[in-house]
Amino acid sequence: MMSRFWSPLVHSLVPYVPGEQPKLANLVKLNTNENPYGPSPAAIAAMQAALGDDLRLYPDPDADVLKQAIARYYAVDKSMVFVGNGSDEVLAHVFHGLLQHGQPILFPDITYSFYPVYCGLYGVKYRQIPLDDSFSINLSDYGCRNGGIIFPNPNAPTGVLTPVAHIEALLQENTGSVVVIDEAYIDFGGETAVPLTQQYPNLLVIQTLSKSRSLAGLRVGLAIGHPELIEALDRIKNSFNSYPLGRMAIAGAAAAFDDVDYFRHTTSAVINSRVTLCNELAALGFDVLPSAANFVFARHPGHDGSTLTQALRERSVIVRHFKAPRIDQFLRITVGSPEQNAALVSALRAILQR
């Protein structure tokens, strides 16, 4: 569609397409990396307490209670914390406020497909650096002049982890531009780069409450970095929407960060299920990339990725498939509950035996 009422920018946009949220009941939904467990009961209680007459009042524009909870959890100063309406919004402000310079920014050829979308929205030039043959990010390939570097750790949609020591080596070399680590899945077995933000003023770490804290529906994301970087994000935010987080989101997210026991319990349950799922997929003949996330990336040497995705859908199991070069034979499968994973495995067994 085209319209003479659209700005030239709108004509040029190629928007991100999120994984579908089907309205059908009884689906085994393993396509958008949601957590199979509910949010912390303490987070639900905090949101219920926030649900009342106070909703007539605007929320705290600085979401102080939430920033304090995050600062406590990571033992950083509150001035190093930024929060937004999902990490997708935080990332948008990062592209707009910290990555838009003359030089192209660098990110992997296979990565979160929202990055090129933000580049289109904000006019950021970029260069894609190929993953190596084992689908790992090789940071020694990121040595050229750049306007910034961004990648998820673990990477999406591969699940492959980059060791924090490699990130520190990159930071020692790359001092002239911002390095952004998108840690959407770090809590499922990786080591966070947050402590390095104390030492490297050009490091910004992004996280979300959508995956490991089971709050995708609440829309809360965050960034941690030097106050100078946070100030840029605050300036953008306060030129865009002063109140990105509502009262319920601030209360629920803060309580989720405080409930460390529940968080540890549910993330380790997901990690254990991932180990089981990887073994079962391997037994069915799949090549499974080593995952440190709450999803696995797997291909079958004898079955086409798109055909398998469709066959699973016919059995009410929804997984994600990307029609991109190098990865079009893979399925990205969210680690679900033990029951969901068992349903996936038995559907696959039936399909492969056909």
Ligand X SMILES: *Cc1c(COP(=O)(O)O)cnc(C)c1O
Question: Dihedral of the CA atoms 255, 257, 263, 267 (nearest 10)?
Answer: 140
When the beta carbons of 327 and 348 are compared against ligand X, the nearer one is 327
Q: How far is the CB of 87 from ligand X (least distance, A)?
A: 3
Q: How far is the CB of 285 from ligand X (least distance, A)?
A: 27
Single out the residue of 331, 268, 253, 270 nearest to residue 34, CA to CA. 270
When the beta carbons of 112 and 135 are compared against ligand X, the nearer one is 112
Element holding 150 (H helix, E strand): strand 149-152
Site string for ligand X, 124-153 (x = CB under 6 A): ----------------------------x-
Residue 57: exposed, middle, or buried by beta-carbon count in 10 A (0-12, 13-18, 19+)?
exposed
Q: How far is the CB of 3 from ligand X (least distance, A)?
A: 28
Q: CA 145, CA 299: separation in Å to the nearest integer?
A: 35
Q: CA 174, CA 158: separation in Å to the nearest integer?
A: 25
Q: How many residues bind ligand X (CB under 6 A)?
A: 12
Q: How far is the CB of 16 from ligand X (least distance, A)?
A: 10
Measured at the CA of 192, the angle between CA 102 and CA 101, to 5 degrees, comes to 5
Q: How far is the CB of 276 from ligand X (least distance, A)?
A: 22
Site string for ligand X, 152-191 (x = CB under 6 A): x---x-------------------------x-x-------
When the beta carbons of 216 and 342 are compared against ligand X, the nearer one is 216
When the beta carbons of 104 and 221 are compared against ligand X, the nearer one is 221
Residue 60: exposed, middle, or buried by beta-carbon count in 10 A (0-12, 13-18, 19+)?
middle
When the beta carbons of 218 and 278 are compared against ligand X, the nearer one is 218
Encoding tokens for residue 345?
């495995």
- Which residues on neighbouring strands pair with residue 204, listed in sequence order? 180, 225
**Binding segment (CB under 6 A) for ligand X, from list 2-10, 81-89, 122-130, 300-308:** 81-89
Q: How far is the CB of 315 from ligand X (least distance, A)?
A: 26
When the beta carbons of 214 and 300 are compared against ligand X, the nearer one is 214
Element holding 182 (H helix, E strand): strand 179-182
Q: CA 254, CA 260: separation in Å to the nearest integer?
A: 11
Site string for ligand X, 261-300 (x = CB under 6 A): ----------------------------------------
Distance of CA 322 to the CA centre of its chain: 16
When the beta carbons of 112 and 286 are compared against ligand X, the nearer one is 112
When the beta carbons of 95 and 112 are compared against ligand X, the nearer one is 112
- 334 forms part of the interface with ligand X (CB under 6 A): no
- Count the helix, strand and coil residues of the chain and give each as a percent rounded to the nearest 5: 40, 15, 45
- 88 forms part of the interface with ligand X (CB under 6 A): yes
Number of C-alpha atoms within 13 angstroms, CB side, residue 349?
Answer: 8
Q: Is the Cα dihedral 130, 297, 205, 208 positive or negative? A: positive
Q: Which positions ≥6 away from 5 have C-beta within 8 Å? A: none
Residues 192-231 interacting with ligand X (rule: CB under 6 A):
208, 210, 216, 221
Q: How far is the CB of 40 from ligand X (least distance, A)?
A: 17
**Binding segment (CB under 6 A) for ligand X, from list 83-91, 254-262, 272-280, 283-291:** 83-91
- 112 forms part of the interface with ligand X (CB under 6 A): yes
**Encoded amino acid at 92, one letter:** A
Q: How far is the CB of 295 from ligand X (least distance, A)?
A: 9
Candidates 31, 87, 146, 197: give the one binding ligand X (CB under 6 A).
Answer: 87
Q: Is the Cα dihedral 56, 62, 66, 68 positive or negative? A: negative
State the residues that interact with ligand X by CB under 6 A.
86-88, 112, 152, 156, 182, 184, 208, 210, 216, 221
